[in-house]
């Protein structure tokens, strides 16, 4: 079936640098995407979302970019902090299945002090 997946399993960055986490999707009909952050031992936490009629959306220190042509999303974290260390998932709600989220395997972000 359709899938949402991530390019890299682990990303290591220096504290203060910017982080970029990538995500590819295969369903051309997907029109809404959500990024989640999952810290060790906790449930996923909503970060930011974007609809397909947008190319970019900004939050606090985070920006999501959507390239529909190549079916690619990225999450950019500015001035990465130790508290940003977590696994990041992109997800695609499926409206015909009760908004079931299809998750990729996740990218682990490790922040070096």
Partner 1 sequence: NAGVTQTPKFRVLKTGQSMTLLCAQDMNHEYMYWYRQDPGMGLRLIHYSVGEGTTAKGEVPDGYNVSRLKKQNFLLGLESAAPSQTSVYFCASSYSRRTQYFGPGTRLLVL
CA–CA separation, 103 and 30 (whole Å): 13
Candidates 21-29, 56-64, 68-76, 104-112; binding stretch for partner 1 (CB under 8 A): 104-112
With respect to partner 1, which residue has the nearer C-beta, 43 or 113?
Answer: 43
Q: Minimal distance in Å, beta carbon 44 to partner 1?
A: 5
Say if CB 102 and CB 47 are below 8 A apart. no
Candidates 15-23, 55-63, 73-81, 88-96; binding stretch for partner 1 (CB under 8 A): 88-96
Give bridge partners of residue 33 from the DSSP assignment: 50
Q: Which helix (H) or strand (E) holds 50?
A: strand 45-51
Say if CB 107 and CB 11 are below 8 A apart. yes
Asked if 88 touches partner 1 (CB under 8 A), the answer is no
Interacting residues toward partner 1 by CB under 8 A: 9, 32, 34, 41-46, 49, 89, 93, 95, 97-101, 103-106
């Amino acid at each position: 079936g359709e899938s949402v997946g991530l390019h890299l399993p682990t990303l290591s960055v220096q504290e203060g640098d910017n982080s970029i986490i990538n995500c590819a999707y295969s369903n051309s009909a997907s029109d809404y995407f959500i990024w989640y952050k999952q810290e060790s031992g906790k449930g996923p936490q909503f970060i930011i979302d974007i609809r397909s009629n947008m190319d970019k959306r900004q939050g606090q220190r985070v920006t999501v970019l959507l390239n529909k042509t190549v079916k690619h999303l990225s999450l950019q974290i500015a001035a990465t902090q130790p508290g940003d260390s977590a696994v990041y998932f992109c997800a695609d709600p499926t409206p015909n299945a009760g908004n079931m989220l299809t998750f990729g395997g996740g990218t682990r972000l490790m922040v070096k002090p």
